[in-house]
Amino acid sequence: MSRDKNARALAQQKKVRRQWITFLRMCRYGVSNFSRNAWLTVAATAVMVITLLIIFVTVAAQNVLTHTMSQISSNVDMSIYLKGDTPDSEANKIADHLRGLSNVTKVTYSNANQNRKDFAEQNKNDPNTLGALGVATNQFFGTLRISLRDINDTSELDAFIKNDASIKKYIDSRHKPSFAGPRRDAIKSIASATNFAQKFGIAASIIFVGISSLIVFNTIRMAIFNRREEIDMMKLIGADKSFIRGPFVVEAIVYGVVAGVIAALLGIVTLKIAEPKLSEYGVAIQPTIDFLTTYSPFLVLSMVVLGAFVGAVSSLFATQRHLKI
């Protein structure tokens, strides 16, 4: 009984050893194929690099656009104007009420005197404007500046102005709130552009992953065509299906690994080169560059994994369809 048990254990060890040797041979043949046919290797790797770089740029551009829209949103003038004679104590009470709204993140107040001083400082070189400051009818107003979590949602502010008793007495009827006038359309356009950028980035990434899969699929099909005599010979000597298919899968994974490293490095370098020019136009690219530089090892690893995955899946489909084994 023990002899049979030992025999089964020995047979299992031999089986595992054979499988391990087969796996190492497939890896060796796959790496050898990668370096054996130079033109096919360069072409496949270059196409994979371009595809991964497009995916990288698409995701990075979506992130840059989101940061830019967020920066623009933070500078959008969400203001409520109070009468010039509004006591600071009452204005601060109104500000406290605004801070209690769920969509409000920040509220600052500048009274009429402060606004007058700021205006005079900005126009100190214009004698006509400074002269107008002395006219009694040219009265300044207090300003409540408000930051929102969602600039597209001003419903709470609309309801506050209509229903809150504390503000009705002091709001300046000559100046509508910035979010209730013509600027409302501009605010909505900014929010819509941000949402569109996020959805477009996701859709574009999915599309380019599909494109890269088709490219690798055709590349592996070309490799199979070029090595058809070798494959026929392996079939004749009774090689397993997995052993014939394995080197092509390994080869495609190597394409993805090499392309992932190159694409990640090229992507970071491209963003850094573009940063000065884009910053001149107000594009918030620096936060994305800082993030990618800080986490560059994880970026390279992600690109390598993505490339290897796309290569492996595409090669499996290609070998399944065109090896005919």
One DSSP character per residue, 184-241 reads: HHHHHHHHHHHHHHHHHHHHHHHHHHHHHHHHHHHHHHHHHHHTHHHHHHHHHTT--H
d(CA 252, CA 108): 58
Confidence of residue 155 (pLDDT cuts 50, 70, 90): confident
Instruction: List C-alpha distances in Å: 163 to 167, 174, 192.
Output: 9, 19, 28
State mean pLDDT over 292-303: 87
pLDDT on residue 127: 59
Mean pLDDT of 230-245: 70
State the amino acid at position 223 in one-letter form: A
The model's confidence at residue 113, banded by pLDDT at 50, 70 and 90, is confident
Q: Dig out the tokens for 183 from the structure.
A: 């600027």
Q: For 305, phi and psi rounded to 5 degrees? A: -65, -45
Residue type, 143: T
For 177-201, the pLDDT digits (tens) are 776 555 556 656 666 766 776 677 6
Mean pLDDT of 226-242: 70
pLDDT of 190: 62
Instruction: For residues 207-229, give the mean pLDDT.
Output: 72
Number of other CB atoms surrounding residue 306 within 10 Å: 21
Identity of the highest mean pLDDT range in 1-5, 24-28, 276-280: 276-280
Least confident range of 50-59, 216-225, 295-304: 216-225
SS3 assignment, position 145? strand
Q: What's the pLDDT score for residue 262?
A: 92
Which domains are assigned to the chain? 22-71+190-322 (no CATH), 85-177 (3.30.70)
Q: What is the pLDDT of residues 298-312, one digit of tens each?
A: 888 988 898 888 878
H or E, element range at 108: strand 104-110
- pLDDT for the residue 136: 45
Mean pLDDT of 137-159: 76
Region 148-170: what's the mean pLDDT? 79
- Of residues 162 and 26, which shows the higher confidence score? 162
List pLDDT tens digits, range 17-54.
666 666 666 666 666 666 666 677 777 788 788 878 88
| Average per-residue pLDDT for the chain | 75
What is the per-residue pLDDT for 137? Answer: 46
Residue 27: the pLDDT is 63
The least confident of 26-40, 64-78, 87-101, 235-249 is 26-40
pTM of the complete model beyond 0.75: no
